[in-house]
A = this chain, B = another copy of it.
Amino acid sequence: MMLAARVDGTAVTDNWSGIGIENRGFQYGDGLFETAALIGGRVRFLDGHLSRLQHGCERLSIPMPQSDLLAQEIAQVTAGHERGVVKVIVTRGAGGRGYRPVDGVASKRVVALYSAPESLAADVGIEIRWCTTRCARNAQLAGMKHLNRLEQVLAQAEWRDAAIAEGLMTDTEGELVSGTSSNVFLVIEGVLVTPDLRYAGVAGVMRGQVLKIAQAQDWHCEERAVWPEEVMHATEVFVTNAVRGIRPVLKLGERHWNVGSVTRGIASALGLW
Which 9 residue pairs of A and B lie closest in terms of their CB atoms, listed nearest first?
Answer: A29-B29, A136-B136, A15-B20, A148-B148, A136-B138, A100-B156, A28-B149, A19-B19, A17-B17
Whether a CB of chain B sits under 8 angstroms from the CB of A38 is no
Interchain CA distance A271-B59 in the complex, whole Å:
43
Report the minimal beta-carbon distance from A200 to chain B, rounded to whole angstroms. 8
Known: A27-B89, A100-B156. A21 touches B112 (CB 8 A): yes
Known: A89-B21, A100-B156. A147 touches B27 (CB 8 A): yes
| Inter-chain pairs besides A17-B17, A26-B147, A137-B172, 10 sampled, C-beta below 8 Å | A5-B21, A15-B94, A28-B152, A61-B157, A133-B140, A134-B140, A136-B136, A137-B137, A140-B154, A141-B150
A149 in complex: contacting residue of B30, B94, B156, CB < 8 Å: B30
Q: List residues of A (99-145) whose CB comes within 8 Å of B's CBs.
A: 99-101, 110, 112, 117, 133-141
Q: List residues of A whose CB falls within 8 A of some B CB.
A: 2, 5, 7, 12, 14-30, 33, 60-61, 89, 92, 94, 97-101, 110, 112, 117, 133-141, 146-157, 172, 180-181
Interchain CA distance A15-B93 in the complex, whole Å:
10
* Most chain B Cβ neighbours within 10 Å, of A139, A150, A152: A150
Q: Which residue of B lies closest to A156 (CB)?
A: B100
Interchain CA distance A181-B27 in the complex, whole Å:
14
